Amino acid sequence: MSIVDGLSEKFHSITTSSTAKFIAITVLLLLLLIPKSMVTDVIGDRERHRDEARQQVSAQWGGSQVLAGPFLVVPYLVLEKAVNEKKEVQQTTSLYYAVFLPDSLEEEIQADPQVRHRGIYEVVLYQAKVSLKGTFPWPNFNGFAVQPQKILWNKAALVQGLSDIRGIQKDARLIVDGKDVSLEPGLPPIQTVSSGIHAGLDLSARRPSLSFSLGFTLNGAGNLSFIPLGRQTSVHFASPWPNPSFQGAFLPNERQVGPNGFTAQWEIPNLARNFPQQWSTANSPVEFQVQLASNASTYAGGDETTPNVRDLGPSTFGVDFFYPVDNYQAATRSAKYGELFLALTFLIFFLFEVLSKVRIHAFQYLLVGFALILFYLLLLSFSEFIGFGWAYLIAAASTIGLITAYSSSLLWHWRQARMIGLLLAFIYGYLYCLLKAEDYSLLLGSIGLFVSLAVVMYATRKVDWYQAGGKDAIAMKKRR
């Protein structure tokens, strides 16, 4: 044998060895991460299109709603003195707002959700009938250091905060102490809430307490939440939606959920929240630059962004109208197992190659990898029209059928190809169980990986890895 023939044989032995094949398969796996990441980007892009469609529908109907109120706002004036650069004393009149929360607040909500479509995307909207009632104690200014004659009782207002006032309907009605009071859009510059409606009140005639009832119909999308502003806040929520998700700082004290809908009841005392029953904007004045208008519902002032901000957000609670089938979330979760699927499938082919005299080219591994990645595109595209379960079945069956048929030519025998098909069917079925068992997915995944490793170790326990894959490869059964 010549030196050239010896080197050629040595090179062939190295390149066809199991070690070289394992390295080549590893390189292929790394290369296949590129198209796999592209598929993941496609899933994210489709999810963003879904979110944009929901935002477009919500913009025309009403977005997620947060109810804050009602609460009382009473303006007052303070004469303040200051020394300028010339050591001259100047007097300015500043306008402040005192905010008072109700003693009791009862909220009754009846929400009727509906599923709308924008193209192929589904959006959960609702229309809620809101009924609020309660009582205020008479506003007490003892802690505000204000002269009684400076309190603008005739400029008071009852304020109802709404996160998206586009959703409020024309049937809104407010009754204060048995009398109808007209509602106006907008808020006084107190920054307790960012948007809502108010009603001007004349509180010049003192009385022990103030009772109110406020009712309106509200359009929204996705979520309806509340802020417990009462010293004792009670919320009763009912809806025919069968899949509520209770969110926020408080879970309901009582709830009943069934296929025909749900009811929930919250009872929240003021000690469970992190803000008081009354406060003032005195530490952030609004300069009183123009005369208050005669209309009790009109407020005038300077910069409306300076008043003190009360952070009520951490006490928010409510209901999310959860849509149980989120195809994009399920597709994203399944794609996270893509690397594991590629590795397991390539390992199966590699073991068939090691345990027999069949040789599989790197390009053939690459084609099998592409088929595995296309599974996620099939899953995503079909799930947008027929739901995730059926889409998973069609995508998995198509991928398994394609790889099984291709394996019959690679492995020279249908028996081995059918075995690969059965193994792939088991893997895809196992993934579906992982996707459905959200809380137990880590446990099931760990057990599955352990079992897979044990099977591989058992199947290769007698393989002579120094000889496997080369010209001296011997079937494992002959080594027993």
Predicted local confidence at residue 160, as pLDDT: 93
What mean pLDDT is predicted for residues 249-258? Answer: 93
Q: Which residue has the higher pLDDT, 173 or 359?
A: 173
* 27-31, 222-226, 283-287: range with highest mean pLDDT: 222-226
Rounded-to-integer distance, Cα 367 and Cα 280, Å: 70
Rounded-to-integer distance, Cα 102 and Cα 49, Å: 43
What phi and psi, each to the nearest 5 degrees, are found at residue 278?
-155, 150
Predicted local confidence at residue 191, as pLDDT: 64
What is the band of 438 on the pLDDT scale with cuts at 50, 70, 90? low
Whether 360 and 469 have beta carbons less than 8 Å apart is answered as: no
What is the band of 89 on the pLDDT scale with cuts at 50, 70, 90? low
User: What global pTM score does this model have?
Assistant: 0.70
Is 294 a residue whose pLDDT tops 90? Answer: no
Structure-block tokens of residue 225: 């939440």
Whether 277 and 192 have beta carbons less than 8 Å apart is answered as: no
Amino acid in position 245: S
Q: Is the preceding peptide bond at 269 cis, omega within 30 degrees of 0?
A: no
Rounded-to-integer distance, Cα 410 and Cα 371, Å: 15
Rounded-to-integer distance, Cα 44 and Cα 46, Å: 5
Angle, CA of 242, 248 and 251, to the nearest 5°: 65
What is the band of 188 on the pLDDT scale with cuts at 50, 70, 90? confident
Alpha-helical (H) ranges within 133-288 are none
Is 125 a residue whose pLDDT tops 50? Answer: yes
Is 259 a residue whose pLDDT tops 80? Answer: yes
Is 384 a residue whose pLDDT tops 90? Answer: no
Rounded-to-integer distance, Cα 427 and Cα 225, Å: 42
Is 480 a residue whose pLDDT tops 70? Answer: no
Is 410 a residue whose pLDDT tops 80? Answer: no
What is the edge-to-edge ordering of all strands in the sheet holding 254-258? 179-181, 173-176, 209-221, 121-137, 104-118, 232-239, 261-269, 254-258
Four-CA torsion 53, 54, 55, 56, nearest 10 degrees: 50
Predicted local confidence at residue 143, as pLDDT: 78
Predicted local confidence at residue 67, as pLDDT: 92
Predicted local confidence at residue 284, as pLDDT: 47
Predicted local confidence at residue 283, as pLDDT: 55
**Mean pLDDT of the residues in the chain:** 80
Domain limits, the chain: 13-52+326-479, 64-321
